[in-house]
Chain A
Amino acid sequence: MTSPNNSKPLSKQAALVQKNLAKRYASERRFKAYGLASVLFGLCALLVLFVEIFGGGLGGFKTTQVALTLELDSDVLEVYDATNPDEILSGNYTGVIRNALKERFPDAAGRKEKRALYSMISVGATYDLRDQLAKDPDLLDTSIDVWVLADDDVDTYYKSLSSVPYAERMSDKQQQWVQNLIDQQEIRTIFNTRFFTGGDSSEPEMAGIRGAIMGSLLTMMVTLLLSFPVGVAAAIYLEEYAPKNRLTDFVEVNINNLAAVPSIIFGLLGLAIFINLFEMPRSIPLVGGIVLTLMTLPTIIISSRAAVKAVPPSIREAALGIGASKMQMILHHVLPLAMPGMLTGAIIGMAQALGETAPLLMIGMVAFIMDVPGAINDPATVMPVQIFLWSDSPERAFVEKTSAAIMVLLMFLMFMNAMAVLLRKRLERRW
């Protein structure tokens, strides 16, 4: 209405407003800057974490191998019938590998040097050789060129050559041998499949995360199967059926309190009740899953209640008004509408449980377990505990294993969060 040309002088009020404007805008800009700074700080922290873990851990997905020509002499092996499982099992594969090493590096003289030479190849190589022979008995009494698994010290040294060589545990002679192998192109790094197929081991080059992954999956399965139905049922009862009285309030307050209880307390509870009182075995996913169920239940109940509460009352009225019973109203209308929220809560609870270590320490899931668990009553450990165990190990090579395991765990967490988002989107699109 007023153009700048014929504007009247500002009233007193307007002048005051004008005076304050600059100050107001400045404080608004500051306010925005604080928020931006916080976001940037968070991103930086994330970046540092990722660079640190990925930088240190990518090597964990690779393993070093050495090329050797192995003479599978039946006299050295003491295996005369390669189809006989007993003979295969008791074969002297170490001898074959040692002979091959002596052949390859004739300059190793004296017991000390020989022992240093032998220690460059992992004990895992003998297992690989055994498996290869068992699979193909015709190899007996032939000569084969194979890549054998190097020891973790060689592995660490070889991988570190490209940057700062780490030679603390390598003698000069060993370093020369590695150099020789490099010159002859008889040493390489390849993708570490053993990391994903093997259980834990005291030898870093043979340690795998499969056992921990399976342990985590079994534990999560128990947790999900117990906590989701119980949590949803409790939430529905509390929201839809519970009379509004003191007792309900009391239950409500205590569910909120439970959500704030430190997780190690749940571990102690599991130890006291499931292991001491019920005498269930230690370190099994069943007990771990039950303990984590106790821990995740409050989260699931609280988020499920919020989801149920968020279903518009008009939908309930519509269902009741047409003559649906309360159960029909809940099953046909409230639950489908609340399901995305419930699932999100459940998956976030699961992700929390997946990363949980403390309560599992209390019930013995911190044990050193080499076998990959196959059932919920097999001794097992879980990924975060495996990370804890490896980070505690003295061998240098476990450092990158730890980082690699963290990456696998993060991958699982991201996968679960993506699932939550996806499920929510999918279910919401229907409405």
Chain B
Amino acid sequence: MQDTVIESKAPTAKAVQAERTKKTTKTESNAMNAKRSPTEIAESITETVGKPLAQNAKLAMRDVNVYYDQKQAVFDVNLDIAENQVVALIGPSGCGKSTFLRCLNRMNDTIDICRVAGSIQLDGMDIYDSKLDVVPLRARVGMVFQKPNPFPKSIYDNVAYGPRIHGLVNRRADLDEVVESSLRKAGLWEEVKDRLESPGTGLSGGQQQRLCIARTIAVSPEVILMDEPCSALDPIATAKIEELIAELSQNFTIAIVTHSMQQAARVSHRTAYFHLGRLVEVNETEKVFTNPDHELTEAYITGRFG
């Protein structure tokens, strides 16, 4: 599946452009869908079906396009993430969901060839404003990565690192408190309270990932981005993280990329389905998994490809 996607990309790119300028209506494209491959369908998508926009949006993305050099990875994405909501981003590998997620706290800045167009607003503030400083932005929009990546320091220092560099606490006692409460929120306190000075890299994979979550929430971000946080973990550790996400959603706004549809179904309020860089469908999670609006979404969640 993936191979054909990549191969067929080049010749059809122009066709897509032409199609987009013509502004094909949805009915037309639906009529044609019957005979076309998923790639062709995805490339002809100009509008997201479902309800991409929301009331009281914490993060509002409008016409987001992402390019790696000449290659476009994300096409015209419009999406809102509401406050204290968990939004799952799903889709086949290479569909741009991770790239899109990394735009939300400008982690893509570290990639020289990456270019982001469109507007992404956090509480109405454009995060791609040239005057905006990414350091405070990343303090407000934290990130948990695919592979657990604790610093090669003690457990305590791992959690204390964020508050320290941002100067959130001045006294050791306050720092101790932040570390404890973060570890508690991450459900790790009971397991590590007796060995806070031992290296964070010595923990098991699931514990490491929870440590990374504790590290992220220690700076009290408003939004947490999670990039396949459970892909390297076993089912038991995954279950713990999922429980944790449910708890965290009471205080934090969360965007989570996942390859596991069950996981998306379990943890998220809304689900966004990406295909070939297009945001195909956004709906309430329950609706996406029971009665999706778009045929591509349906094909993906029923396992016909992806």
- Find A317's partner among B112, B145, B161, B165 (CB 8 Å cutoff): B145
Tally of contacts, chain A with chain B, CB under 8 A: 67
Q: Are A322 and B142 in contact (CB under 8 A)?
A: yes
| Dominant SS among interface residues on chain B | helix
Query: Given contacts A244-B112, A323-B166, A431-B199, are A318 and B107 in contact (CB under 8 A)?
Result: no
Complex interface: chain A residues within 8 A of B139 (CB): 322-323
Q: Are B149 and A328 in contact (CB under 8 A)?
A: no
Q: Are A314 and B161 in contact (CB under 8 A)?
A: no
Q: Are B147 and A431 in contact (CB under 8 A)?
A: no
Query: Given contacts A244-B112, A318-B212, are A323 and B165 in contact (CB under 8 A)?
Result: yes
Complex interface: chain B residues within 8 A of A312 (CB): 149
- B contact residues, range: 20 to 34
Q: Is A243 an interface residue (CB 8 A)?
A: yes
Q: Is A369 an interface residue (CB 8 A)?
A: no
Query: Given contacts A244-B112, A315-B151, are A322 and B145 in contact (CB under 8 A)?
Result: no
Q: Is A35 an interface residue (CB 8 A)?
A: no
| Dominant SS among interface residues on chain A | helix
Q: Mark A174-205, 1 if CB is under 8 A from B, else 0.
A: 00000000000000000000000000000000
Complex interface: chain A residues within 8 A of B152 (CB): 315, 337, 430-431
Within 8 A of A (CB), among B112-171: 112, 135-139, 142-143, 145, 147, 149-152, 161-162, 165-166
Kindly state the separation between the CA atoms of A345 and B3 in the bound complex, as whole angstroms: 44
Complex interface: chain A residues within 8 A of B199 (CB): 431
Q: Is B77 an interface residue (CB 8 A)?
A: no
Q: Is B21 an interface residue (CB 8 A)?
A: no
Q: Is B58 an interface residue (CB 8 A)?
A: no
Kindly state the separation between the CA atoms of A243 and B107 in the bound complex, as whole angstroms: 18
Q: Are B105 and A322 in contact (CB under 8 A)?
A: no
Q: Is A98 an interface residue (CB 8 A)?
A: no
Q: Is A171 an interface residue (CB 8 A)?
A: no
Q: Are B161 and A322 in contact (CB under 8 A)?
A: yes
Kindly state the separation between the CA atoms of A314 and B107 in the bound complex, as whole angstroms: 12
Q: Is A325 an interface residue (CB 8 A)?
A: yes
Kindly state the separation between the CA atoms of A328 and B167 in the bound complex, as whole angstroms: 13
Most buried by B among A244, A317, A321, A332: A321
Q: Is B110 an interface residue (CB 8 A)?
A: yes
Q: Are A324 and B216 in contact (CB under 8 A)?
A: no
Q: Is B97 an interface residue (CB 8 A)?
A: no
Using CB atoms, name the residue of chain A closest to B146: A314
Kindly state the separation between the CA atoms of A318 and B219 in the bound complex, as whole angstroms: 13
Q: Is A333 an interface residue (CB 8 A)?
A: yes
Using CB atoms, name the residue of chain A closest to B110: A320
Q: Is B201 an interface residue (CB 8 A)?
A: yes
- Find B138's partner among A243, A322, A337 (CB 8 Å cutoff): A322
Kindly state the separation between the CA atoms of A325 and B216 in the bound complex, as whole angstroms: 16
Kindly state the separation between the CA atoms of A314 and B166 in the bound complex, as whole angstroms: 21
Q: Are B216 and A321 in contact (CB under 8 A)?
A: yes
- Find A321's partner among B136, B145, B147, B150 (CB 8 Å cutoff): B145
- Find B143's partner among A243, A321, A430 (CB 8 Å cutoff): A321
Q: Is B215 an interface residue (CB 8 A)?
A: yes
Complex interface: chain A residues within 8 A of B151 (CB): 315, 318-319, 333
Q: Is A316 an interface residue (CB 8 A)?
A: yes
Within 8 A of B (CB), among A300-342: 312, 314-325, 328, 332-333, 337
Q: Are B162 and A314 in contact (CB under 8 A)?
A: no
Kindly state the separation between the CA atoms of A333 and B151 in the bound complex, as whole angstroms: 8
Query: Given contacts A322-B216, A323-B136, are A317 and B201 in contact (CB under 8 A)?
Result: no
Within 8 A of B (CB), among A34-73: none
Complex interface: chain B residues within 8 A of A332 (CB): 161, 165
Using CB atoms, name the residue of chain B closest to A322: B162
Complex interface: chain B residues within 8 A of A321 (CB): 105, 107, 138, 142-143, 145, 216
Within 8 A of B (CB), among A399-420: none
Q: Mark B178-217, 1 if CB is under 8 A from A, else 0.
A: 0000000000000000000001010000000000100110
Between A and B, 23 residue pairs with Cβ closer than 8 Å are A243-B112, A312-B149, A314-B145, A314-B147, A314-B149, A315-B151, A316-B110, A317-B149, A318-B150, A318-B151, A319-B151, A321-B107, A322-B138, A322-B139, A322-B161, A322-B162, A322-B216, A323-B139, A323-B219, A324-B135, A324-B161, A332-B161, A332-B165
Chain B interface residues (CB < 8 Å from chain A): 105, 107, 110, 112, 135-139, 142-143, 145, 147, 149-152, 161-162, 165-166, 199, 201, 212, 215-216, 219
Known A318-B150, A322-B216; further 13 A-B contacts with Cβ < 8 A: A314-B147, A315-B149, A317-B107, A318-B212, A321-B105, A322-B138, A322-B142, A322-B162, A323-B162, A328-B165, A333-B151, A431-B152, A431-B201
Chain A interface residues (CB < 8 Å from chain B): 243-244, 312, 314-325, 328, 332-333, 337, 430-431
